[in-house]
Chains A and B, each alone.
Chain A
């Protein structure tokens, strides 16, 4: 598969542990945030989103936390599985006339069996 994440921050966890992936975003005016998962050789896949009027949102095994004061976003994955191994990106809607998502550089999550 392709290597899409050279020089990335990495997180290595044991299967069954909880994972926390962090992201600092840049634009205080951003009002919508998304976490994407990218497996080797594939396009980014939507995981969960959150709007700026919320500070927490839960999905299946995933939780996103938003701290607008310090412009910080985190993704928590419960009971991490080998299939969770991937690069994870946060993205923000930085507004303007172009509905554009600005992506972070990504974090490589490796789950050890």
Chain B
């Protein structure tokens, strides 16, 4: 089944403890992206990747890192999480880095930082 898989689905952590949210897609998509979703603010892009080893900042990159060593994986790293990073996170992928193709989203990761 074609899908984007995120793990974990739920995570509660403490301020300052490094964590990684994994994202993997099995569709050979070039483009991958991370979004966070907050009430009243909608979906906001954190980072994106046009292809392997090509990543760049989105609208709200502060406090996050990403890597794209393989085409299928795009992990989101929080080096020192803070309570304002409590949010619902979505990984998404798209067939190509340019052109008009919709995103396929993962099921989300609910992160709580205390």
Residues of A within 8 A of B (CB): 2-7, 31-32, 34, 36, 41-46, 49, 51, 89, 93, 98-101, 103-106
Question: Contacts A4-B88, A43-B105, A44-B43 given; 13 further ones with Cβ under 8 A?
Answer: A2-B108, A2-B110, A6-B39, A7-B40, A34-B103, A41-B108, A44-B103, A98-B48, A99-B31, A99-B94, A103-B35, A103-B43, A106-B42
Q: Is the interface of B mostly helix, strand, loop or mixed?
A: strand
Residues of B within 8 A of A (CB): 4, 31, 33, 35, 37, 39-43, 45, 48, 50, 56, 58, 88, 90, 92, 94, 96-100, 102-108, 110
Give every chain B residue within 8 A of A99 (Cβ-Cβ).
31, 48, 50, 94, 96-99
Question: Number of contacts between A and B (CB, 8 Å)?
Answer: 68
Q: Is the interface of A mostly helix, strand, loop or mixed?
A: loop
Query: Given known contacts A98-B58, A99-B94, is B100 in contact with A51 (CB within 8 Å)?
Result: yes
Contact A42 B107 (CB under 8 A): yes
Complex Cα gap A13–B41 (Å): 25
Query: For residue A42, which residue of chain B has the nearest CB?
Result: B107
